[in-house]
Amino acid sequence: MSLLLEFFGRLHPMLLHLPIGMLCALGIYEFRAWRKGDPPAPRFWVSLAAACAAFAAGSGWQLHQEPGYVEDFALEWHERLGIATGLSAILCAMLYNNVTRYRKVLLLSVATMLGAGHYGGTMTHGEDFIFEPLLRLAANNESQPPASVVSYERDIAPVFKAKCSKCHSASKQKGGLRLDAPEWILKGGKNDGAAVNVGHPDGHPILERILLDLEDEDHMPPEGKRQLTLEETDLIAEWLQLGAPFGPPLAAADAAAVQRLRDNLVHVQTISTESNKLYVDFAATATDINNQIVTELLMPIKDNIVELSLARAVQIDDGIMPLIAQMPRLEILSLVGTSITAASEVALKEIATVHLFDTAIQSEQPSDALATEILAEGEIKLTNSECPVTGEMIDPKYTIVYQGEEIQFCCPNCPKTFWEDPEKYLGAK
């Protein structure tokens, strides 16, 4: 019996179209009859419409008994209005003898049927299914410039709000997760931890869930809820690929300014294909540039520069610091071999990495002994002109270092002899 009932429930998607057609047709017929003073539609058709509406409502109610439905606004009102349609349609058939009452109830029945149909459509196709193409058309007509870089504020937050906020916001936190503000997204839920992997192109738990099959129980949004569109999924994936940046996106550097740099043989490139951050290197023209040239060239793109090399530019001195101070994103700066002085040292502390080798600013002493040894070029002096053991011609192939002095020998055997008693042979020298 329960299996038969289940079968009956599954008929709902088919049965529901019958009362829609019939009630609409009856409505139109009676409206025309009322205007013209004609008699109502034959009893047979009214009874049939009532029966169909009742079956549709009954099968719908039965279908809802099956597990897997998430209670929400659309489902609740679809069910209420559907049952109201069924009952009012039966009432129509019962009141058939009183034409005025029959027509009034029929009007009610058509109204509830339209309402039930609307929410039913919302359940299966999502909100704005019909008007979405028109909304898109309207949005296109507003002639927005195509956004090149995804922005959390502009592109991602609205999607999260529309598709995720029902279960992941202030009102409800399924799995302990909120997606309505950056700090909550970073805090994450109790299953996956942080929802995004900031600064990395992959390893984002949120994207894994979005991309799982709809049937998978870990898929988000859950089956039966409004799903993300392909465009929204792409947008989120693009944003995550960038490392989930929450700040406003960095606009691309002025192309003309970049071209002017390249015309001047300056190396300019973005640090990755997805980024608008720039790496600028004056290597090719280092000896020719000065503060003024660099300032003029870099001023238009100062916001985009994260890495700048002015290495070996001897004409660059403390006068470059006003420009450096105006680069908000500068992380790596090479001033190797420039004429920068200690006056700029404090200002340079703001930058994460600065290379100052070969400038007036002295770094701390080289820490390891090897560095000291190698840096002290020329300290190891060749001290002998003939082999200290045999007195014959020396060969650079057979060299040793003894007490910071280079000693050369005539053959591979002499060093061995030497090490046995160095003082003896050094004295003989």
Residues of this chain that interact with other proteins (CB under 8 A) are 267, 272, 281, 283-284, 311-312, 332, 334, 336, 353, 355, 357-358, 370-371, 374-375, 377, 396-399, 412-413
> At its nearest, how many Å lie between other proteins and the CB of residue 265?
11
| CB-nearer residue toward other proteins: 215 or 377 | 377
Question: How near is the Cβ of 399 to other proteins at its closest, in Å?
Answer: 6
**Any idea what DSSP says for residue 154?**
I
Which is closer to other proteins, CB of 157 or CB of 286?
A: 286
Q: Is the peptide bond before 366 cis (omega within 30 degrees of 0)?
A: no
What's the min distance (Å) between Cβ of 254 and other proteins?
Answer: 23
Least distance to other proteins, CB of residue 277, Å: 14
Phi/psi at 267 (nearest 5 deg)?
-80, 120
Of 49, 115, 119, 41, the C-alpha closest to 86 is: 49
Q: Which residues contact 125 (CB under 8 A, 6 or more apart)?
A: none
CA-CA distance, 424 to 426, in Å (whole number)?
6
> Which two three-digit tokens encode residue 126?
């999502």
Counting Cα atoms < 13 Å in the Cβ hemisphere of 84 gives 19
- Nearest approach in angstroms of CB 271 to other proteins is 10
Identify which of residues 70 and 371 has a Cβ nearer to other proteins in the complex: 371
Stated length of the chain:
429
Spatial distance between the Cα atoms of 231 and 28, rounded to a whole number of angstroms: 41
**Rounded least distance, CB 118 to other proteins, Å:** 47
Distance CA 368, CA 396 (A): 28
CA 407/CA 409 separation, integer angstroms: 7
User: Two tokens at 102?
Assistant: 């029959």
* Cα 302 to chain centroid, rounded: 25
Q: Which is nearer to other proteins, 14 or 374 (CB)?
A: 374
Min dist. Cβ of residue 357 to other proteins (A): 5
Cis, peptide link before residue 396, omega less than 30° from 0: no
| HSE, side-chain direction, 13 A CA sphere, residue 294 | 29
Name the CA radius of gyration of the chain, rounded.
41
Host H or E run for residue 395:
strand 395-402
The least distance separating other proteins from the CB of residue 362, rounded to whole angstroms, comes to: 12
